[in-house]
Chain A
């Protein structure tokens, strides 16, 4: 039986592609863009940092893609069925796909990638795979995943960067990390790896045998490596570079660059990651251990100001623990608006005695430094005795890993589903020294643990929604961390580069549909 949802989604996907084609794209041309910093390698699945994803996402593919609303659409799988009990997922693969070296792509590649390759190398895929009992290729173009129990975010975990398909015929039985093909990645994507001049440029060329008729339109994409932020801005200004992926120029350059002729800006294309900036607050000791203090911090911060002045109006002031792109967000909660009066009352009520509280900025550049200064001043104005500790990336990692902080800036990806990107910050079994990415604040609440764990495996979605609603209410009241900003990561590009951002991972696979109107 074909799941009705899958049908509806295929139809939506069709409509989606048609609008993209409406402008009658032109064939040919090479786009010059930037990757920053230079990636350590290009084998997606083995390496998952941002620069690798943005380049290799055009070489490798996953079973599914996701629209900017995080709805799955076909990629290597043309359709999929979900059994009524939510435990069996059947993927039907396209039958006309070949690897860049000419070998056909089959169900065995999927089984190998998921069951062998990712289980060994990829922690984020592993977190999903622990819910998977078996993966079987029932014929050459059909793969069946059987789950231990229903797992809500399963269908959203097939994004190429997390669940890359790698060629079995090149990797099976080898030492993956030292495989000779790592220097010349072979995928199924719209572009083939051509050349990598270290420190200068990575060149991708059109895959003439791509399975989507007519795609890609471009002859190639050159990823330039320019180490200095100022030089990158200049390269865009003088026309050497057509596309600036988010994070490649400093915030303060963006207004100037975006006001140039023929330059377009979009904030779309990060919905899957939805970078969410938070203020860690040490729940274990000191004033920050008191709920009322943490609430006071929320009321004391002028987040609208930070958004308008520091982030040039990009991004969103968040409501609560679930970002606005997260599934099951409860938008009925009372927002923590800027209210210094309320903050002072709360501090009075708890009997705050002026004990010194330290604040650790994120050492990621000017904007973050200015932001810490603004928050420091906000807190001082309601009577909190704050002192900023300057540190470098190593010191920041170490302090957070050792829980040696009071307040600290950070940002995390949300990965579309609360069970993938949000619960990890609040679950008490995710408290472990040594990592700055887990439950660093030390929040422990049995009910929250229960609700998150239940919601991850509840089925269907209505049931998950009810559980997540309760958890959001508790978190909103307890304020385990400060919710600073849903970051806006703008992509700047020449307006004649068309259809560049068309999915929830943006440029990571954007050049598949892009074309040049020149």
Chain B
């Protein structure tokens, strides 16, 4: 059975993938459909959805187009989710690999270091980091990456510990391959599937984290993100429900889609473990 066929066996995953593709399309089409800045005050404030042509989702507290904000926000959310996950992987994978492969004292040191990060609540640490570095896309990406790499490190370490005594690794050692070659060429490729699954879930978490930060006013003040839209609208929720509703739905769908896709990937990459349907 091909990879995609296995993936498609999970109906949920397929739905998730479709939603995700739609959101990606939104992000790509945003500058074409709404070439003007989403910050532009274009109409009367507080226009309800569908009440005027060109403003299907209404306008916000300052007369900005909610639809434009939503589309441009998709780009920001996806970008931050992907970049921060990549950065987290770049930190977590090498640390976990070294700790798991060498074991002993190195493992102890690296794992105590990892635990240090794990004991601090993620969100609290992210707030502190962003507040210290001043809110900007870079500082938010860094903060999210810094709070989300420990699970990666632990996962990779566990995989390495179980794989390092396998016969093919022993064989590689016997033919004189160096440690770094063994780590990169022999073991790492075999740990990829759980990493990919974890990464897809991390993107979802990162999007949630970014939204929460923006909601609290710690977003980059120069980019329109979904969290910002909800944060700015929460004060008028009694007057204008649509301002927080649409970005909220967008976040919900994106996170849901990423989770479904993650599950589908898990099934597709680990056919033996996949649940009987």
Contacts and interface: CB of A to CB of B under 8 A. Distances in A.
Interface of A: 250, 252, 256, 305, 309-310, 361, 366, 369-370, 372-374, 376-377, 380-381, 387-392, 395
Contacts of A369: 217, 221, 232
B173 interface: no
Contacts, number: 50
Given A366-B235, A390-B221, A373 B62 contact: yes
Interface residues of B, number: 21
4 A-B pairs with least C-beta separation: A388-B221, A390-B135, A377-B39, A390-B221
A390 B134 contact: yes
Contacts of A381: 40
A370 B239 CA distance: 17
A373 B231 CA distance: 14
Nearest to B219: A390
Contacts of A256: 238-239
B61 interface: yes
B218 interface: yes
Given A373-B39, A390-B134, A392-B131, A309 B62 contact: yes
A306 B12 CA distance: 47
B131 A370 contact: no
A395 B134 CA distance: 10
B221 A373 contact: yes
Nearest to A229: B235
B62 A390 contact: no
Contacts of A392: 131
A373 B224 CA distance: 11
B31 interface: no
A387 B222 contact: yes
Interface in B172-230: 217-218, 220-222
A377 B37 CA distance: 9
Would you call the interface of chain B mostly helix, strand, loop, or mixed? Answer: loop
Contacts of B103: none
Contacts of A380: 37, 39
Interface string B26-68: 0000000000010111000100000000000000011100000
Contacts of A388: 221-222
A373 B41 CA distance: 10
B120 interface: no
Nearest to A370: B62
Given A309-B62, A389-B134, A361 B232 contact: no
A377 B238 CA distance: 27
B60 to A, nearest CB: 10
Nearest to B224: A373
A389 B235 contact: no
Contact of B134 (A310, A366, A377, A391): A391
B45 A309 contact: yes
A32 B61 CA distance: 32
14 contacts: A252-B61, A305-B41, A309-B62, A309-B63, A366-B235, A369-B217, A370-B62, A370-B232, A373-B39, A374-B41, A380-B37, A389-B134, A390-B134, A395-B134
A251 to B, nearest CB: 9
Given A366-B232, A392-B131, A374 B37 contact: no
Interface in B230-269: 232, 235-236, 238-239
Interface string B142-177: 000000000000000000000000000000000000
A507 B69 CA distance: 42
Contact of A376 (B39, B134, B232, B239): B39
A372 B221 contact: yes
B234 to A, nearest CB: 9
A372 B239 CA distance: 23
Given A309-B63, A380-B39, 16 more contacts: A309-B61, A309-B62, A369-B221, A370-B232, A373-B39, A374-B41, A374-B62, A376-B222, A387-B222, A388-B221, A389-B134, A390-B217, A390-B221, A391-B134, A392-B131, A395-B134
Contacts of B222: 376, 387-388
Nearest to A372: B221
Nearest to A392: B131
B263 to A, nearest CB: 37
A106 B232 CA distance: 55
A227 B189 CA distance: 56
Contacts of B39: 373, 376-377, 380
Contacts of B61: 252, 309, 370
Contacts of B135: 390
A252 B236 contact: yes
B238 A250 contact: no
A389 B134 CA distance: 8
Nearest to B44: A309
Nearest to A230: B235
Contacts of B218: 390
B208 to A, nearest CB: 20
A389 B232 contact: no
A390 B231 CA distance: 15
Nearest to B60: A370
A252 B41 CA distance: 18
A389 B238 contact: no
B221 A361 contact: yes
Contacts of A361: 221
A372 B62 CA distance: 12
Contacts of B238: 256
B221 A377 contact: no
Contacts of A252: 61, 235-236
Contacts of B62: 309-310, 370, 373-374
Contacts of A387: 222
A381 B41 CA distance: 11
Contacts of B235: 250, 252, 366
